Amino acid sequence: MLLRRLQIQLLGLLAAATLAAATTVGNITTATKIPKCALRCLVEELPASTCPSTTLDKHCICKNHDLRRAVYDCLTLKCSVRDNFAAINITATACGVEPVSTVDISIEFYATFTTLTVIFISARMATKIAGISTWWWDDTTIVIVFIIHMATSLAGMLWGMTGTDIWALSPAQINRFLFISFIYGVRYFVNMALIKASILFGLLRVFPNKNFRRVLWGTQIFNLLFTLAMLGAWFGQCQPMSFYWLGWDGEHEGSCVDKKAVALAHAGIHLSLDVWILVLPINQIAALNLEKKKKVGAVLMFGVGIFLTIVCALRINALVDGTRPRSISTRGFWTALWSNIENSVGIMVACMPAMRILFTQLIIPKIRESMGERRHSVASSTAHSKAGTTSTCNTRPNTYSHHSRGRSLQQVLNISDIELIGERQDERERDVELGDMGDLGLGVSGKKESPATVVAQERPL
């Protein structure tokens, strides 16, 4: 409604700007740029308004709500979409009203979430380089998401997804905006599916229970089939396909199904699947025989997925607004923005276990080691000055270094019976991505499982 009122306000000045321009020789060129249907609407509606048609009071015409509404309705009925937007554009220029632009917002959000995304994906890569975790399908899928997300987000921001009022865009710019929106739809379906796949592959690393793994694989299959179905619906929603970005002006032949129905159908099932994947690990952790503090910590780590669900819900709200007539460029921008945010949050959620591992098994131990060496250095200097001997200095560093090496080895193996047995078997590249949770007993029956049971449950994927 806000955009509708704004457009009505802009149209009002056309009565003053165009008729005044047409009566002066110097402004004949300006008048000829105005669509003829718009001039007819103004000539018809101006005499019926309270504004004087002889003096053409610019202030009155711009502020007269009834006149603006009458002109708007006339333009909608008698003018083509292109002429409608041209009339609004000329009116806005005459009124001195600047079109809405969200370029600054776009840059701020892009910079913020790009930085966060790079930090999280870098943390994940650091665990691979440091040898704390091996490469598997969860890493491959999330890296693909990262590449697609970064490339399309930058391209969209540079090539038209800036949220400028649609009447201020040229027909070519509108076509480009809608084409990018179409590509963003494909990108969204693919990336959301890959993010879910990465999270599910991560759970397959951690949980050895055979029945639970079947549930995870079943969810993977459903996620794949659902994504393929939605891609088919997306590509087939308009006939021909190009009508999606060319059909806005009413001058091209073709047809589309209800675009909002396709988008909302995906959003609804997508949101439900997010909740399902969120509940899966929490349900398993709740069944473990762990002390309360450790159980809460594990639930909180997996529970960060709730942020992805929240962003998905916010995007649905923007999606509903973005499908309203005449708001496609501004509201559509917010839909694209929330899609970008959801992509970024999804990458961060998928990388959260890696971030935890990086801190608990690499950064924090290094800090402690550095602080221990510093304290020992001070103690050694004091001992030298007082006793004049080096015996004490030569003993403590070796003890600390041996302890550090032993703990580092356990950290590389994630202190997990599952991982240790895996190393002794056929060198399967499967990590326990919960950091030091491996020694908590990751049996889903509520008790620690014996090594024999774990071996029986751990099969090559």
In this predicted structure, what is the pLDDT of residue 408? 34
Given a cut of 70, whether residue 170 has pLDDT beyond it is yes
Would you give the DSSP letter of residue 49?
S
Q: Would you state the CATH architecture of domain 103-355?
A: Up-down Bundle (1.20)
pLDDT band at 228 (very low <50, low <70, confident <90, very high): very high
Given a cut of 70, whether residue 364 has pLDDT beyond it is yes
Mean pLDDT to the nearest integer, 299-310:
70
Q: Which tens digit of pLDDT belongs to each residue from 71-112?
A: 878 888 888 888 888 888 887 777 777 777 777 777 788 888
* Higher pLDDT pick, 246 / 407: 246
Q: Which tens digit of pLDDT belongs to each residue from 21-33?
A: 444 333 333 444 6
Q: What separation in angstroms does the CA of 328 have from each of 79, 165, 181, 335?
A: 19, 9, 10, 10
CA distance 166 to 180: 14
Q: Which tens digit of pLDDT belongs to each residue from 400-415?
A: 333 333 333 233 333 3
Given a cut of 50, whether residue 306 has pLDDT beyond it is yes
Given a cut of 50, whether residue 146 has pLDDT beyond it is yes
| Highest mean pLDDT, choosing among 221-235, 313-327, 375-389, 430-444 | 221-235
Residues of the binding site for heme: 57
Tell which residue, 51, 90, 84, has the closest CA to residue 67: 51
Given a cut of 60, whether residue 348 has pLDDT beyond it is yes
Residues of the binding site: 57
pLDDT band at 54 (very low <50, low <70, confident <90, very high): low
Tell which residue, 139, 121, 215, has the closest CA to residue 431: 139
Residues in contact with 385: Cβ distance below 8 Å, sequence separation at least 6, in sequence order: none
In this predicted structure, what is the pLDDT of residue 380? 64
In this predicted structure, what is the pLDDT of residue 418? 35
Residues of the chain with CATH 1.20.1070: 103-355
In this predicted structure, what is the pLDDT of residue 327? 55
